[in-house]
Structures are given as structure tokens and as C-alpha cells.
Amino acid sequence: CMWSDRMVFEIICNPYDCNNLMQGFIGAILGAIVSVIGVWFLTRMQIYEEKKLDLARKRLEKLYGPLMLQLKVTEKISGKKDTMQGTTKQLDRVSNTIAEGFYLANVDMIDDLVELYDHLFYQQKDEKFGERIVAKIKKKYEETKRIAGVD
């Protein structure tokens, strides 16, 4: 059995075999591209979730947690619920908590915290304002606990 040039050419470059080879090669490249994009997307999502969780924990530790503690103490001292009236020392602690943790505040809480800070600094006795701000602080505290996974 002699090999002719034509037989060698047909064995090496059979169009059916070349098409299968190209389809497999293109499929492998597309699979690799989709895998890289999928891994990149999942990594970005994981980083975003970690940052969100870290921010929520910082907010609990530096702002909303201490504010809730001070709120509970002022409620106990004054005997009134949902109020920000207490001793001067207690109100100073609330003001310091706001000053130290202000950078962590949610965007929708910034104006309220500034107003609360002024309210405490000038020792105003507006109970409606106190009730409104206390309700917002409690709401943000609960939301932040949920995001941070703290129950």
C-alpha cells in the first residue's frame, strides 16, 4: 500500500476534521472569555457586599450604636420615651458621638444629625423634634443592624 500525496493531503486537511477542530477551538476561547467575565463580575459583587457590610458595621460601632445607647440612658434618666432630654453631661456625650461619627451617617440623616447637634448644643426643649429624630435614629439603627447581619 503506497501513500500518495493526495491521500496524505486528505488525511491532514479533511474539511470535516478541520471544521470540528475550529469549532472546538472557538468554543474553548468563548468558554474562557465567558468564564473570565463571570469571575470578574462575581468578584466585583463580593467586594461590593464586603464594603457594604464593613460600612454597616462601622456605622453601628461609631454612630448608631452609641446614639442608641445614649438614647436609652437619656430615656432612663428623664423617664420619658423617645426624647433627647437628659443631663448636660449625657447630652454632651450625644453631641460628641455625632461629632465623631458624623462622617458615617447616611445621606438622608446628615441634615437631621446637624439639626440634632444644634438642638443639643443650644439645649432647646422642642419635644416634637426630639420624637421625630429619635424615631429616625431608631429606624436607621434597625436597618443598619439588618444589613450588618446583627440581631
pLDDT tens column, 41-57 = 999 999 999 999 999 99
Q: Are 60 and 73 in contact (CB under 8 A)?
A: no
27 burial via Cβ count (<10 Å: 0-12, 13-18, 19+)? exposed
Identity of the residue numbered 40? W
Closest to 97 in 3D by CA, of 77, 127, 117, 83: 117
Cell output for 151: 440581631
CA–CA separation, 83 vs 78, rounded Å? 8
- Note the pLDDT of residue 52: 92
Q: What does the pLDDT look like over 73-130, one tens digit per residue?
A: 877 777 776 666 666 777 778 888 888 888 888 888 888 888 887 777 666 666 677 7
Closest to 105 in 3D by CA, of 95, 113, 97: 113
- Note the pLDDT of residue 30: 92
- Note the pLDDT of residue 67: 87
Closest to 58 in 3D by CA, of 24, 7, 100, 26: 100
When pLDDT is averaged across residues 135-146 and rounded to a whole number, the result is: 90
Q: What does the pLDDT look like over 12-69, one tens digit per residue?
A: 555 555 566 667 788 889 999 999 999 999 999 999 999 999 999 999 999 989 888 8
Cell output for 15: 474539511
Mean pLDDT of the chain, nearest integer: 80
- Note the pLDDT of residue 114: 84
